[in-house]
Copies of this chain bind each other. A is one copy, B any other.
């Protein structure tokens, strides 16, 4: 931590800051410039976190030097994490594709989808049983019945399964049926839910919040990991910007940034990011080329009749074709699929 004093700060103000630092059991280094004095703090800055040095007299600003996330930080764990979900490993050499409907609607829909995506090569079945919808009057999900349908489809096909959870009771249900829990974008800073997900023991798919910085995202992962659960997979799904041609703006820079800052795997969801079916294919390829560990792609037997997010869902033939088209690209990227 560095404390930058205002130009021509009074000596008494500088002494006051030093006093706070030293009385917290920390050391300091002073750098006196022509106009500005800078104070470096040596030691565990956590001891100063409630000192509010920003508002001490003549303090211009505080610069933090170390990240607040530790468990998710590559600095403290240089090797890539590889996370086991069912019999599938995320973060290794294999490109992972999670696919399925936005919302679980009925048995046929889920089973048909599971069979179709399995055939195309996907490894994980996704499907929402608890749906966070902007309006209370939109379809809210089948809840536990939906989870059961997911389990049945997973059992029948050997696919691992992932479902979003939106409350403690949803977690308590989901752990009985699925292989991975998803924390959605709107709940990325629902810290209560993150802690409960951490305690669940299951691997967690953590979607980036609509306006979350990468730093906040890794801090959200830290909430889960601090509960003793190291199995977190990050999912970039678009951030909110002024552009309206796509539902959100897919931030593919997040892939190399996360790879640099963290050891956790990262996958990309072009379906929710764009909201437009025809953009899913080029952005799937872009995500693979950027180095993503996997993808989440929405599919539906009949998108025109989907109860949620139909316009962005691929049909089975479209999905199958996409999976075929990416194979040579995956190979070029030195991965398998």
A residues whose Cβ falls under 8 Å from a Cβ of B: 2, 4, 7, 29-36, 38, 40-44, 46, 49-52, 54-56, 60, 63, 65-66, 68-69, 75, 130, 132-140, 166-168, 170, 186-187, 189-193, 195, 210-211, 213-216, 219, 222-223, 226, 239-246, 249-257, 259-261, 273-274, 277-279, 282-283, 285-291, 303-307, 310-311, 328-329, 332-333
> Given A2-B2, A43-B33, A251-B249, is A136 in contact with B242 using a C-beta cutoff of 8 Å?
no
* Chain copies in the assembled complex: 4
> Given A63-B63, A192-B167, is A7 in contact with B75 using a C-beta cutoff of 8 Å?
yes
Pick the contact of A186: B190, B213, B245 (CB < 8 A). B190
Q: List 14 A-B contacts (CB under 8 A).
A: A29-B31, A35-B66, A46-B137, A68-B137, A134-B216, A135-B219, A136-B223, A170-B192, A187-B189, A244-B244, A246-B257, A256-B283, A285-B289, A286-B289
Cβ of A328: which chain B residues have Cβ within 8 Å of it? 332
Q: Which of A66, A307, A332 has its CB near the most chain B CB atoms (within 10 A)? A: A332
- Per DSSP, chain A at the interface is mixed
Cβ of A34: which chain B residues have Cβ within 8 Å of it? 42-44
CB distance from A312 to the nearest CB of B (A): 9
